[in-house]
Amino acid sequence: MQKSIVGRHAQYKKLESNILQISQEAKAMKKEYDDVIDATVGMLHHEEGNVFKYQVVEESLHHLSDAETYHYAPVRGTKKFSEGVFDWVFGKHADTIRKNFKYSIIPTTGGSGAVSNTFYNFNDFDQKVLLPNIYWSPYMNFAMEANIDLHTFMMYDENFKFNLEDFRKEAFALAKKQGRLCLLLNDPCNNPTGLCMTIDEWKTVIHTLNEVSETGVPVILIHDIAYIDYQMGESDKSRDIFTTYLDLNDDILVVVVFSGSKTFSLYGFRVGAQIGLSKSQEIIDNFVRVGDYSVRGRFSSVSQPGMNIIEKIFSTPEYKQKFLDELSVGRKLLKDRAILFLQEAEKNDLLIYPYCGGFFISVPTQNKHIFKDLVDDHVFVIPMQGLIRVAISSLPLKDIPELVKKIKKHI
């Protein structure tokens, strides 16, 4: 019998993510029926259904030179891109972070590339990354591709608060078992729930990571901030969680994951960044060494026009102000939908996971047939383990009251 053409390490691979497929099914049914509600697409849309694109992004794109559009991009990007991303991510705390940490920024293919590279370079094969039990499903793909796995702790306690007790228990157990702790937290505005951790919760997480590091175990914190600009509260306040980093022990590496897709609606350009932070220069030197190698070895370099658009917006005061003005419109669009959904959920006695921002709201359910029941009622959402994910980012206001009623009917 002939051996498989596929290598042994790749035998398990089969892409089973159903999000895009479900979205296509929703679009197909919409052509037949007028009452279809599609709450699947994790992209910000206008009320009339068009993608929310920034005019300043359009303007920047059309003013790029041939070299800025067609030439290969440098592996590390440019200083203006890197420093612009750093200033944007940390906001009013950027100078404080610069003063207290060694750092470097590595451009990646979206936030996905940043997570994937970090998984691969900062874990031994067959080890596990710790994260909450409710998470964005592609994290599993990134893990399997890096020859590692995921290990979860309970995201919520009995009061629907971030479960610090279970996090601490699983962090110490995993660190002891494998001699390394790599933690991934998607906060604020968690995908899929919309949870935002408090500063006190972050302080406790940092304290736990310090305790683990003091046992001689390498500690890596991956902080995915894809939706940080879409918190319900003030944008600047969402960045206050970074002040908790100041208490980190010297030998801990933080990798902050920036997504140009979510920040600029540049979904198709695939631009993101790994921001490496540590109080140890040696750790950052290693971060740069392996990061540069992986960029060249896995995707050569990042989109040249994508990086140049971001660079121009961050480095041109006029463009940056235009972007801030447009961002406030996008934030209001999302906030109006969230407020209406929360009001309708309360009115219909529909239990949802705590939401404070982001593109998604999640509804816990024990109905294993909820997806089929809703499709039969012309409603499309994303089913996940023990919940359904509703993409309010692309959901027009007019559909929300009826959507909530139908979810309540079948939940």
* CATH assignment of 70-317, among 3.30.360.10, 2.120.10.30, 3.40.640.10, 1.20.140.10: 3.40.640.10
pLDDT score for 264: 85
Residue 184 has pLDDT above 90, yes or no: yes
- Write down the H helix ranges in 34-148: 55-62, 66-70, 79-90, 94-100, 110-121, 138-145
- pTM of the prediction? 0.94
Distance of alpha carbon 23 from alpha carbon 44, whole angstroms: 15
The reply to whether domains 8-53+320-410 and 70-317 share a CATH topology is: no
Of the candidate ranges 26-40, 164-178, 257-271, the one whose mean pLDDT is the lowest = 26-40
**In the block, which residue shows the tokens 């001699």?**
179
Fold adopted by 8-53+320-410: Aspartate Aminotransferase, domain 1 (3.90.1150)
pLDDT score for 17: 58
Query: 164-178 vs 199-213: helix axis angle to the nearest 10?
Result: 20
Give mean pLDDT, residues 45-72: 88
Residue 1 pLDDT level (bands cut at 50, 70, 90) = low
Per-residue pLDDT of 127-166, as tens digits, reads: 999 999 999 989 999 999 999 999 999 999 999 999 999 9
The closest of 355, 363, 359, 402 to 383, measured between CA atoms, is 363
Burial classification of residue 296, based on how many CB atoms lie within 10 Å of its CB (0-12 exposed, 13-18 middle, 19 or more buried): exposed
Strands 102-108 and 181-186: unpaired
Q: Where are the domains of the chain?
A: 8-53+320-410, 70-317
Residue 391 has pLDDT above 70, yes or no: yes
Per-residue pLDDT of 73-87, as tens digits, reads: 888 888 899 999 999
Distance of alpha carbon 328 from alpha carbon 229, whole angstroms: 10
Contact indicator for 291, 116 with CB cutoff of 8 Å:
no
Residue 3 pLDDT level (bands cut at 50, 70, 90) = confident
Per-residue pLDDT of 200-240, as tens digits, reads: 999 999 999 999 999 999 999 999 999 999 998 877 788 99
Per-residue pLDDT of 309-327, as tens digits, reads: 899 999 899 999 999 999 9
